[in-house]
């Protein structure tokens, strides 16, 4: 506990040092105020673009999972090539189907009626997930199975990623330097300006930057 307090005090002292240097820079260079102020909107634009690319990536993943689900049980075409990846999405299945769903996800469920039921349910959940991604404000779709209890489940579908499938983009909202360093230089600059703008006026009753 004492160690934690000492670390927190050290961290606050370092931040105070950064803040003092930053305030001096801003006072000396009037341009910097405009640049730091503009960084908020610039970062908002970055985050919006990031969320859009994540959404596109998620929808593509669901398309790949759907392709696998619609592939006949005896086909190995989709599972045997390329870099494999697990696509997960939430669903709800009847309790009696859970063992079959588990067997299906581990690749141990052969062709037959059980498999057809599992695939049908998974496809409905996939479609529901896709709809909620497309319009996040819509209430999540939940199927009620008549006369049987049902449970939440996470579907895990193994897919082969095509060569042009994009790598996970770096998140501009991250607070880890390793993640932020993955951003292109210009975007890293925007994130830097945003955070330093926050440090600049923290704890000050006389902010140097205009209030929003």
Partner 1 sequence: MVQSVANLLVWRYRGGMRAHASFEDVPRLEDLELHADIAEQMLMHLEEWLATDPVTVSDERTWPRVEDLCTEASISDQTLARIRKVAKVGHGKMGGAARNHRYSPPEVKRMLEEARRGQYLSKRRYDGWEKWAR
Does position 190 interact with partner 1 (CB under 8 A)? The reply is no
Cβ 18 to partner 1, closest distance in Å? 5
Does position 37 interact with partner 1 (CB under 8 A)? The reply is yes
To the nearest 10 degrees (0 to 180), the angle between helices 2-28 and 31-69 is: 120
What is the dihedral angle through the alpha carbons of 14, 18, 19, 25, rounded to the nearest 10 degrees? Answer: 160
Among 64, 122, 159, 197, binds partner 1 (CB under 8 A): 197
Q: Residues binding partner 1: what is the number (CB under 8 A)?
A: 51
Does position 195 interact with partner 1 (CB under 8 A)? The reply is yes
Q: Which of residues 57-116 bind partner 1 (CB under 8 A)?
A: none
x-or-dash string of contact with partner 1, 124-163, rule CB under 8 A: ----------------------------------------
**Rounded CA gap, 31 and 52, in Å?**
32
> Which range, of 99-107, 117-125, 162-170, 193-201, touches partner 1 by CB under 8 A?
193-201
Does position 198 interact with partner 1 (CB under 8 A)? The reply is yes
Nearer to partner 1, 26 or 93 (CB): 26
Among 6, 10, 70, 116, binds partner 1 (CB under 8 A): 10
Report DSSP letters for the chain, one per residue. Answer: -HHHHHHHHHHHHHHHHHHHHHHHHHHH-THHHHHHHHHHHHHHHHHHHHHHHHHHHHHHHHHHHHHHHTS-TT--TTTSSSEEEEEEEEEEEEGGGHHHHHHHHTT---SSHHHHHHHHHHHHHHHHHHHHHH-TTSPPP----TTS-EEEEEEEEEEEEPTTPPPPPPPTT---HHHHTTS-HHHHHHHHHHHHHHHHHTT-SS-SSPP-
> Which range, of 58-66, 122-130, 158-166, 203-211, touches partner 1 by CB under 8 A?
203-211
Residue numbers of the site for partner 1 (CB under 8 A)?
A: 8, 10-16, 18-19, 21-22, 25, 29, 31-32, 34-35, 37-38, 40-41, 43-45, 47-48, 175-177, 180, 188-189, 192-199, 201-205, 207, 209-212
């Amino acid at each position: 506990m004492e160690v934690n307090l000492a670390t927190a005090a050290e961290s606050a002292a370092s931040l105070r040092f950064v803040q003092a240097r930053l305030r001096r820079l801003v006072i000396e260079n009037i341009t910097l105020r405009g640049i730091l102020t503009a960084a908020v909107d610039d970062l908002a634009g970055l985050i919006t673009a990031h969320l859009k690319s994540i959404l596109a990536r998620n929808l593509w993943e669901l398309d790949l999972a759907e392709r696998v689900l619609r592939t006949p049980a005896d086909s190995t075409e989709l599972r045997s090539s390329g870099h494999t990846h697990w696509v997960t999405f939430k669903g709800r299945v009847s309790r009696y189907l859970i063992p079959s769903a588990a067997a299906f996800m581990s690749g141990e469920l052969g062709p037959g009626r059980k498999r057809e039921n599992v695939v049908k349910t998974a496809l409905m959940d996939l479609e529901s997930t896709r709809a909620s991604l497309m319009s996040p404000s819509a209430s999540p779709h939940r199927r009620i199975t008549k006369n049987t209890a049902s449970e939440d489940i996470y579907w895990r579908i193994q897919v082969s990623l095509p060569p042009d499938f994009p790598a996970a983009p770096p998140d501009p909202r991250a607070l880890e330097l390793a993640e932020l360093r993955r951003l292109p230089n210009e975007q890293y600059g925007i994130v830097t300006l945003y955070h330093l703008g926050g440090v600049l006026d923290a704890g000050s009753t006389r902010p140097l930057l205009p209030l929003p």
